[in-house]
Amino acid sequence: MPSEKKSLNIGIVGLGIAGASMIPAVLAHPHVNLAAAATRNQERLDKFAKDYNAKTYYTIDELCKDPEIDAVYIATPTELHTEHVRIAAEAKKHIIVEKPLAVTLEEAENMIDLADKNGVYLIVGHSHSFEPPIQKMKEIIDSGKLGKVLMIHNWYYNDWIYRPRTPEELKTELGGGVTYRQGSHQFDIIRLLGGGEVRSIRAVTNISDPSRPTEGNHTVFLEFENGIPATAVYNGYDHFHTTELTYNIGEGGPLSNSGVYAQARRTIKETSSPEDEVALKVAAGYGGSRSKNYQDAEKHHPFFGLTIVSCEKGDIRQSPEGLTVYGEDEKYTVTIPMEETGRLNVMNELYEAVVKGIKPIHDGRWARANLEVCIKAIQSSKERKELYLNYQVPVKEPVESEL
């Protein structure tokens, strides 16, 4: 049911990189107010209170007891999502939670049930499928102008596995590694564009650096119920970068290219301890010495790797201005204004759900389906590797002429 309120007060739980990156979207939305934040980092709380004249809390429990808060954005580690969603749902707060939704399907189901039981919306911030170029791709597909979709591909090569990480980000069982953390973005983009349920998944994942003991790359083949095939290729080992194919534009917009090859790997090798690596990660969060100024407007829409959609009558890919369409008779650019961003669209989906009663696309069930692809990709790879290990090449019996 639509709310009688015409604006929402939102609190951010967790002021790391994800939490900090959402702040400009909250500030930009005309009907969402940045009302509070919760984190165990007192220095961040003090800065947040000063910067935004907003309330601060040490825990999510305290924040959710505030009757003026309508919704929360949960930007905490994946293994904490289940408990934090429970606290928010039982406090009757609407919820945006970071991807992946959970580590297991059982956890995801429990979170969905809790939101339904308490009458609150649960939206998962797969911000890359909210990006205007991806939304415009879907619009072109749905128009039928290029005929039916034949195949979808998303390929992303970067330095993810060697960016400063907290311990849980390098543990698959806690939702770490590129298949859980980044595959959830890829599968979300592909599912939005594919327009159907995934019928089958085949995958191979690899852990090629024992010092980073979680999936660092994957190749996943998906087939939809409607017959559309798709591939999701991800490699986070900091060799080739897809930005060479995407106009030097990455997922954060224009890159600050230092000119140092494999800089991420070099930085990690020079880090003397896991504690020092965590300190580097913390420094990239809100107010840290390595934090990005998310208030600065980007000059281009971000690229989450290279996404190409092939249809009967043409192909579509991103360009710095928006999209490039390779039609039957001409190649042309679709310009997309920069005022709209993926994170702003996340906020708007929450607002329209709560205030206008419009059913969100990226709800808990949507996120559960993305999580299922992540889990099945990892399982598929494990099963294929076990099959190869157990396969015995039959010993050839010598024929008489060989005796």
Which residue has tokens 């230092």? Answer: 258
In the DSSP assignment, the letter for residue 54 is -
Amino acid in position 363: D
Question: In sequence order, which ranges of 195-311 are alpha helices (DSSP H)?
Answer: 263-270, 274-283
User: Which residues does residue 253 pair with via DSSP β-bridges, in sequence order?
Assistant: 250
Give residue limits of the domains in the chain: 8-128+342-363, 132-340+373-388
User: 94 and 66 in contact (C-beta within 8 Å)?
Assistant: no
Distance CA 371, CA 86 (A): 19
Pick the CATH number of 132-340+373-388 from 3.40.50.300, 3.40.50.12780, 1.10.579.10, 3.30.360.10: 3.30.360.10
61 residue type, one letter: D
- Sign, CA dihedral 249-250-251-257, equals negative
Single-letter residue type at 22: M
Question: Which CATH superfamily does the domain covering 8-128+342-363 fall into?
Answer: NAD(P)-binding Rossmann-like Domain (3.40.50.720)
Cβ 377 vs Cβ 179: under 8 Å = yes
Residue 209 CA: distances (Å) to CA of 16, 168, 170? 26, 16, 11
Residue 166: φ, ψ to 5°:
-85, 160
In this prediction the pTM is 0.92
Q: How many secondary structure helices (H) and strands (E) does the chain include?
A: 12, 16
Q: What is the pLDDT of residue 292?
A: 80
In this prediction, residue 392 carries a pLDDT of 55
Q: Helix 17-28 to helix 342-356 angle, to the nearest 10 degrees? A: 60
List per-residue pLDDT tens for the chain, 403 residues long.
566 678 999 999 999 999 999 999 999 999 999 999 999 999 999 999 999 999 999 999 999 999 999 999 999 999 999 999 999 999 999 999 999 999 999 999 999 999 999 999 999 987 799 999 999 999 999 999 999 999 999 999 999 999 999 999 999 999 999 999 999 999 999 999 998 789 999 999 999 999 999 999 999 999 999 999 999 999 999 999 999 999 999 987 665 555 789 999 999 999 989 999 999 999 999 999 888 876 665 678 999 999 999 999 999 999 999 999 999 999 999 999 988 899 999 999 999 999 999 999 999 999 999 999 999 999 999 998 887 767 655 555 554 544 4
Radius of gyration, CA atoms only, the chain:
22
Contact 48, 15 (CB under 8 A): yes
Measured distance CA(363)–CA(95) in Å, rounded: 10
pLDDT value of position 403: 40
Coil, helix or strand at residue 159? coil
CA distance linking residue 57 with residue 62, whole number of Å: 6
Encoded tokens for 254: 């224009």
**The residue to which tokens 């003090």 are assigned:** 46
CB 123, CB 149: distance < 8 Å: no
Residue 308 CB neighbour total at 10 angstroms? 16
